[in-house]
């Protein structure tokens, strides 16, 4: 992949508020961020739009892109629901002269950090509790109970990966979480990049 800007990863169990944090950061012009639109094989939810929230692909198209190695990382986050970051997406953003911000699952987030250790800031957003997570997912009410339970079961596994991230933000007070996220990202962006040792040329 061609050289470019910084990579900022926000990972967390779904319902922990990471999307709210990412949206807030995207509004801050000085951070020069652009959202990495992931590809997924899941169906659109609510008002989600193709090319804005996700690139919605059929399972067949997704698997074809896996085979032709078009993904920087991909994950079967839930059974038959694949999610992944296309190299072309990161290159599109770097060509705009911007830094990339990702809202992805913990495994994918850590994979990007491992691939580009120096240019990546990996932040884990910790929800106050599993109970609170349940409440937030129910309030969102775009999904069936079965799907919500599936997300909650996954949350405790995801929580265990938190220590592998560069920073953990506890999202019990949204205002604090937003300030902390802004500070971390702005410090990371100000740092020079030397060489990412595992980076491909
Ligand atoms: P949702 O279905 O709620 O939009 O996303 C489910 C999970 O998939 C979330 O944890 C989300 O962060 C994650 N996800 C979204 N895009 C990607 C991606 O490109 N790669 C990986 N590994 N996970 C992703």
> How far apart, in Å, do the first and last CA atoms of the chain sit?
7
| Ligand 1 close to Cβ of residue 125 (< 6 A) | no
**Of 19, 83, 123, 142, best ligand 1 pocket probe by most atoms within 8 Å of the beta carbon:** 83
User: Is 196 contained in some domain?
Assistant: no
Backbone φ/ψ region at 46: left (φ over 0), alpha (ψ -120 to 50), beta: left
Q: Is the pLDDT of residue 118 over 60?
A: yes
Looking at the 3D structure of the chain, how many domains does it have? 1
- The least confident of 31-40, 102-111, 135-144, 153-162 is 135-144
- Are 21 and 124 a contacting pair, CB within 8 Å? no
pLDDT digits (tens, 9 = 90+) for 170-187: 988 999 999 999 999 999
Which protein residue has the closest C-alpha to ligand 1 atom 9? 105
In a domain, 162, yes or no: yes
Does residue 122 sit within a domain?
yes
Mean pLDDT across the stretch 134-154? 80
Query: Looking at the domain assignment, is residue 135 inside a domain?
Result: yes
- Ligand 1 centroid – CA 11 distance (Å): 9
What is the domain-level CATH number for residue 86? 3.40.50.300
- Which residue lies with its CA nearest to atom 16 of ligand 1? 104
Residue bearing the bigger pLDDT, 188 or 80: 188
**Residue 118 lies inside a defined structural domain of this protein:** yes
**Higher pLDDT residue, 25 or 139?**
25
User: pLDDT per residue over 83-92, tens digit each?
Assistant: 999 999 999 9
Of 117, 125, 152, 124, nearest to 137 by C-alpha is 152
- Taking the centre of ligand 1 as the mean of its atom positions, its distance from the CA of residue 106, in whole angstroms, is 9
**Residues 125/19, Cβ–Cβ less than 8 Å:** no
User: Can you tell me whether residue 24 is helix, strand or coil?
Assistant: helix
Contact 107, 190 (CB under 8 A): no
pLDDT tier at 11, thresholds 50, 70, 90: very high
Q: Is 103 in the pocket of ligand 1 (CB under 6 A)?
A: yes
- Residues 134-139 have a mean pLDDT of 80
| Of the listed ranges 132-141, 157-166, 185-194, the one predicted with least confidence | 132-141
Helix (H) or strand (E) holding 183: helix 174-190
Instruction: Quote the DSSP letter at residue 104.
Output: -
Instruction: Compute the distance between CA of residue 136 and CA of residue 134 in angstroms, rounded to an integer.
Output: 6
Residue 73 belongs to domain spanning: 7-190
Protein residue closest via CA to atom 1 of ligand 1: 14
The residue whose C-alpha atom lies closest to atom 20 belonging to ligand 1 is 84
CA of 103 to the centre of ligand 1 (A): 7
Tokens read off for 182: 């802004």
Residue 180: inside a domain, yes or no? yes
The pick from 23, 105, 113 for probing ligand 1's pocket by mutation, whose C-beta has the most ligand atoms within 8 angstroms, reads: 105
Q: Which H or E run includes 35?
A: strand 33-35
Q: Is 16 in the pocket of ligand 1 (CB under 6 A)?
A: no
Alpha-carbon distance of 135 to 124, in angstroms, equals: 20
Q: Identify the residue whose C-alpha is closest to ligand 1 atom 3.
A: 14
Cα gap 98→87, rounded to integer Å:
15
Neighbour count for residue 91 (Cβ, 10 Å): 15
- 87 in a structural domain: yes
Give the model's pLDDT for residue 154.
Answer: 84
Radius of gyration of the chain from Cα atoms? 16
Centre of ligand 1 from the C-alpha of residue 21, in Å? 15
| Residue 98 in domain | yes
């Amino acid at each position: 992949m061609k050289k470019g800007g910084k990579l900022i990863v926000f990972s967390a169990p779904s319902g922990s508020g990471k999307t709210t944090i990412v949206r807030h950061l995207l509004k801050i012009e000085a951070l020069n961020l652009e959202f990495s639109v992931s590809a997924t094989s899941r169906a659109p939810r609510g008002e989600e739009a193709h090319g804005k929230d996700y690139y919605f692909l059929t399972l067949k198209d997704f698997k074809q892109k896996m085979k032709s190695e078009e993904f920087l990382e991909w994950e079967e986050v839930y059974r038959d629901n694949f999610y992944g970051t296309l190299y072309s997406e990161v290159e599109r953003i770097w060509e705009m002269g911007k830094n990339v911000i990702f809202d992805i699952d913990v495994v994918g987030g850590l994979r990007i950090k491992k691939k580009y250790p120096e240019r990546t800031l990996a932040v884990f957003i910790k929800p106050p509790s599993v109970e609170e997570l349940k409440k937030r997912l129910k309030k969102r009410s775009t999904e069936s109970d079965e799907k919500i339970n599936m997300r909650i079961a996954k949350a405790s596994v995801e929580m265990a990966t938190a220590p592998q991230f560069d920073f953990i933000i506890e999202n019990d007070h949204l205002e604090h979480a937003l300030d902390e996220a802004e500070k971390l990202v702005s410090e990371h962006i100000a740092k020079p990049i030397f060489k990412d040792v595992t980076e491909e040329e």
